[in-house]
Amino acid sequence: MQAILLAGGLGTRLRSVVSDRPKPMALIGEKPFMEYVVHELSRHGITDIIFAVGYKGSMVEEYFGDGSGFTAPDGTPITVHYAYEEELLGTAGAIKNAGRFVTEDSFFVLNADTFYQIDYSRLVIMQQQSDLDMALVLRKVPDISRYGAAVLTNGRLTGFNEKSAEAKPGTINGGVYLMKRALLDEIPAGKVSLENEMIPKWLSEGRALGGFVNDGYFIDIGIPEAYYQFIEDVEKGVVVW
């Protein structure tokens, strides 16, 4: 299966400790963070990777090359493609730009600076059984006031990016999507946000969006504290290669 890794952001919040490379290429020991993401995907049979790159994207290509130096745990070779952004396109714009490399009816989309351990096959089965245009993963947090709440009702998405001033537990977007290829045609050209524009639009139109809540290991290395936490978790064996 295929996955688009969104790696085109500027990574300004992490710039104080990682200034010489794109945020997803921040080193964890001798490996860049994104290699952990690619390896995790390959464990689940997702071995065709499309890197949506921008800021210093050539560093990604210099490291991963054509993918021939990397294999899944079962020995399956990894293939890679690179979709460069000439200007910042936003998450949906980056997906559309990378869409020219998508050859399957459905494909995964992930943020390349996030590591989330989930059962990817569960998303595939859910999308097929419920005929979903998009299946996504939610996660529980103790305080949704810091985020926009995402709400599932019987497996269907009924609320997204809902702001709340009340500090209370709930579910939010986990940033892992399984999209039907047909959705690419509905994303307009230019800078477009998946989270703030397209998903709310599709939800308002009554499109079939659904998913599940996952409690697996999650980290976004967008800030120095989280970056150092991931390094520590790798060293302690919390995150296993």
User: Please, are residues 14 and 26 in contact by the beta-carbon 8 Å criterion?
Assistant: yes
- All residues at 6 or more sequence positions from 14 whose CB lies less than 8 Å from its CB, including other chains: 23, 26, 221, 222, 223, 224, 227
- For the 2-130+175-188+217-236 domain, the top CATH level (class) is alpha beta
What integer pLDDT is reported at residue 10 of this predicted model?
A: 59
What integer pLDDT is reported at residue 13 of this predicted model?
A: 61
Q: Look up residue 170 and give its two tokens.
A: 């709930």
**Using one digit for the tens of pLDDT, what is the confidence trace for 215-241?**
999 999 988 999 999 999 999 999 988
Q: Look up residue 67 and give its two tokens.
A: 């993918």
Query: Residue 164: which pLDDT band, with cuts at 50, 70 and 90?
Result: confident
What integer pLDDT is reported at residue 16 of this predicted model?
A: 63
What integer pLDDT is reported at residue 56 of this predicted model?
A: 83
Query: Residue 175: which pLDDT band, with cuts at 50, 70 and 90?
Result: very high
Q: Which residue has the higher pLDDT, 70 or 165?
A: 70
Q: In this model, does residue 148 exceed pLDDT 90? A: no
Whole-prediction pTM: 0.94
What integer pLDDT is reported at residue 11 of this predicted model?
A: 54
What integer pLDDT is reported at residue 174 of this predicted model?
A: 93
**Using one digit for the tens of pLDDT, what is the confidence trace for 34-44?**
999 999 999 99
Q: Which residue has the higher pLDDT, 88 or 183?
A: 183
What integer pLDDT is reported at residue 130 of this predicted model?
A: 95
Of 1-5, 21-25, 93-97, 170-174, which range is least confident? Answer: 21-25
Q: Which residue has the higher pLDDT, 117 or 55?
A: 117
Query: Residue 12: which pLDDT band, with cuts at 50, 70 and 90?
Result: low
Angstrom distance (rounded) from CA 68 to CA 199: 35
Task: Kindly state the DSSP code that residue 146 receives in the 8-state scheme.
Answer: G
Length of the chain: 241
Q: In this model, does residue 110 exceed pLDDT 80? A: yes
